[in-house]
């Protein structure tokens, strides 16, 4: 196999291998543009074909999940675990239950996760898994039976030193409880084979809040680097799930005005900015009514816009926290026109290629999820450490560990992404993570 020294050759090579996997191609192209020049300058990386090898998941496990619904009918779903890379620790990454889940989506998420996990500095490799099952509209019993059936197969492939799943879209505390319960029954083992557990049975303080809080800690560092602060800034947040709500809450606590939340049905705009009380109420009640944002709007009398995204608002900062490719080129141009200066991803790859290009060309600070949303998996790493030592750290200790890890990731991005008059956070994150993975790959031989 000839060494690939330029981006076009790399794109041709990977496209011919996975022509249908558009999300996976998108994620690999994004990292390739920054790391191919790094490989070209390093004889070892070239000799050991480090980047191409990193673009192949080490293992993909596919299984079917058959289960009985409340009408005693059999339903069959698809299940996967993509164990992307175990170079620096046990495979680690969330599980997503959503009808849009397929192999391409999970491969992109697992690939990104390997780079993100490397940035945390913790000993965790990268993985992602999930199913095309949709828990929305299902009874508790149906969700329980599905989780049990899913775990009956997944349990063969995970363990505290092998692969440690956690939550992601539609996999929260309830699903983690059912998944963990089944794992424990089959294996007769307590322990860190799953993170995001409730605090009563091996969970860690701050794991639930960590992705959103970590994003705001990173934002504070970005703003400080730019000579400003979060106080009084107008922020558009998308999504209304775990990441979006904890992001909105922490940003509000830090003095910002969060003027939007959204879901796949529309956006709730609130010019005055949500209060801490509003946000805590949504956190406590989400998942109960069909559309929690409509219920919130009854209380606050904001403006609900069906089928709209938040990106038409005049804001200083945009924090996309819902899902991949939710912010596209035309949204980016509108945000820039309306004065937005900072974009930090809370979700994984929410900004498509055209949006990222628009931000970079206009020198808008753009931080990719692998850096800015790494707080969640970092806290999961700390949950694993607590489980391994039967220790339970305090809320304060975990919160300050989170701040320290986010500050360290920020520093790595600045070091590798400093372009004189501009910090290219995307490039910095890609290169810093790549060096850690590449050095481990070279050291471990072929
Ligand atoms: N939970 C975690 O610790 C981490 C999550 N992430 C990423 O953050 C994002 C959100 O995840 P969670 O908050 O955990 O999930 P969640 O299931 O709690 O919330 C997802 C939210 O996104 C909304 N949403 C889904 N599709 C949408 C669309 N097409 N348009 C607008 N809104 C849509 C849903 O209505 C829901 O409010 C995902 O990209 C996930 O991969 C990243 C790092 C860690
Ligand atoms: O906590 C974890 O292991 C997974 C978090 C996650 O899925 C992510 O960072 O995207």
- Domain 208-367 in the same topology as domain 59-190: yes
- Nearest CA residue ID for atom 9, ligand 2: 377
Distance 402 CA to ligand 2 centre (A): 14
- Find out whether 358 and 311 touch, Cβ atoms under 8 Å: no
Q: 208-367: which CATH number, 3.90.550.10, 3.40.50.720, 3.40.950.10, 3.40.630.30?
A: 3.40.50.720
Q: In a 3-state reduction of DSSP, which class is residue 405?
A: helix
pTM check: above 0.95: yes
- Nearest CA residue ID for atom 6, ligand 1: 347
pLDDT, position 96: 98
Which of 380, 383, 384 for a ligand 2 pocket mutation test, highest count of atoms within 8 Å of Cβ? 380
pLDDT, position 2: 84
H/E stretch holding 186: helix 173-187
Domain locations in the chain? 1-55+431-446, 59-190, 208-367
Give the number of the atom of ligand 2 that is nearest the alpha carbon of residue 380: 1
Distance 289 CA to ligand 2 centre (A): 26
**Alpha carbon separation from 243 to 208, 320, 439 (Å, rounded):** 9, 10, 32
Q: Verify whether ligand 1 is closer than 6 Å to residue 167 (CB atom).
A: yes
Distance 413 CA to ligand 1 centre (A): 24
pLDDT, position 289: 67
Give the number of the atom of ligand 1 that is nearest the alpha carbon of residue 171: 17
Q: Verify whether ligand 1 is closer than 6 Å to residue 349 (CB atom).
A: no
Per-residue pLDDT of the chain (446 residues; tens, 9 = 90+): 788 889 999 999 999 999 999 999 999 999 999 999 999 999 999 999 999 999 999 999 999 999 999 999 999 999 999 999 999 999 999 999 999 999 999 999 999 999 999 999 999 999 999 999 999 999 999 999 999 999 999 999 999 999 999 999 999 999 999 999 999 999 998 879 999 999 999 999 999 999 999 999 999 999 999 999 999 999 999 999 999 999 999 999 999 999 999 999 999 999 999 999 999 999 999 877 679 999 999 999 999 999 999 999 999 999 999 999 999 999 999 999 999 999 999 999 999 999 999 999 999 999 999 999 999 999 999 999 999 999 999 999 999 999 999 999 999 999 999 999 999 999 999 999 999 999 999 999 99
Q: Verify whether ligand 1 is closer than 6 Å to residue 214 (CB atom).
A: no
pLDDT, position 5: 86
Q: Verify whether ligand 1 is closer than 6 Å to residue 348 (CB atom).
A: yes
Q: Verify whether ligand 1 is closer than 6 Å to residue 325 (CB atom).
A: no
Ramachandran area for residue 220 (φ above 0: left; ψ -120 to 50: alpha; else beta): alpha
- Find out whether 103 and 79 touch, Cβ atoms under 8 Å: no
Would you state the structure tokens that stand for residue 174, as one six-digit string? Answer: 């309830």
Distance 446 CA to ligand 1 centre (A): 37
CATH class (in words) of the domain with range 59-190: alpha beta
ipTM at complex level: 0.98
- Nearest CA residue ID for atom 1, ligand 1: 168
**Cβ atoms < 10 Å from Cβ of 437:** 23
pLDDT, position 288: 72
Q: Which of 92, 116, 128, 250 is catalytic?
A: 128
pLDDT, position 144: 98
**Alpha carbon separation from 357 to 303, 348, 352, 389 (Å, rounded):** 31, 17, 9, 45
Distance 241 CA to ligand 1 centre (A): 6
Q: Verify whether ligand 1 is closer than 6 Å to residue 211 (CB atom).
A: yes
Distance 103 CA to ligand 2 centre (A): 17
For residue 256, give every residue at least 6 positions away whose Cβ sits within 8 Å of its Cβ, in sequence order, or none: 230, 231, 232, 233, 234, 235, 273, 317
The answer to whether residue 128 is catalytic is: yes
């Amino acid at each position: 196999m000839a060494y690939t020294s330029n981006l076009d050759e790399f794109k041709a090579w990977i496209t011919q291998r996975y022509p249908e996997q558009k999300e996976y191609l998108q994620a690999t192209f994004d990292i390739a543009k920054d790391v191919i020049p790094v490989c070209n300058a390093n004889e070892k990386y070239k000799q050991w074909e480090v980047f191409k090898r990193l673009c192949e998941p080490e293992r993909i496990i596919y299984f079917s999940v058959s289960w009985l619904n409340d009408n005693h009918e059999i339903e069959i779903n698809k299940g996967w675990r993509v164990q992307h890379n175990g170079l620096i620790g046990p495979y680690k990454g969330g599980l997503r239950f959503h009808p849009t889940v397929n192999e391409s989506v999970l491969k992109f998420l697992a690939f990104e996760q390997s780079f993100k996990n490397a940035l945390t500095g913790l000993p965790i490799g990268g993985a992602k898994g999930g199913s095309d099952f949709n828990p929305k509209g299902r009874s508790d019993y149906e969700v329980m039976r599905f989780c049990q059936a899913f775990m009956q197969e997944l349990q063969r492939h995970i363990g505290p030193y092998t692969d440690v799943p956690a939550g992601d879209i539609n996999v929260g505390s309830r699903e983690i409880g059912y998944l963990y319960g089944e794992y424990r029954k089959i294996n007769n083992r307590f322990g860190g084979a799953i993170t995001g557990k409730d605090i009563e049975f091996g969970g860690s303080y701050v794991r639930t809040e960590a992705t959103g809080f970590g994003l705001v800690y990173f934002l504070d560092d970005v703003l400080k680097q730019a000579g400003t602060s979060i106080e009084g800034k107008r922020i558009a947040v998308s999504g209304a799930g775990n990441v979006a709500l904890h992001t909105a809450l922490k940003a509000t606590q830090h003095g910002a005005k969060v003027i939007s939340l959204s879901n796949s049905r529309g956006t709730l705009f609130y010019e005055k900015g949500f209060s801490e009380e509003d946000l805590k109420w949504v956190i406590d009640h989400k998942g109960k009514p069909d559309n929690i944002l409509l219920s919130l709007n009854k209380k606050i009398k904001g403006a609900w816009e069906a089928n709209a995204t938040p990106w038409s608002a005049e804001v200083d900062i945009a924090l996309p926290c819902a899902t991949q490719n939710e912010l596209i080129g035309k949204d980016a141009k509108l945000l820039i026109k309306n004065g937005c200066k900072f974009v930090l991803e809370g979700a994984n790859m929410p900004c498509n290629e055209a949006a990222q290009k628009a931000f970079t060309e206009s020198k808008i600070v753009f931080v990719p999820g692998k850096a800015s949303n790494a707080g969640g998996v970092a806290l999961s790493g700390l949950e694993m450490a607590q489980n391994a030592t039967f220790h339970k750290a305090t809320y304060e200790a975990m919160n300050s560990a989170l701040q320290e890890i986010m500050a360290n990731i920020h520093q790595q991005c600045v070091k590798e992404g400093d372009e004189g008059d501009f910090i290219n956070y995307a490039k910095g994150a890609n290169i810093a993570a790549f060096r850690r993975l590449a050095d481990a790959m070279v050291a471990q031989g072929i």
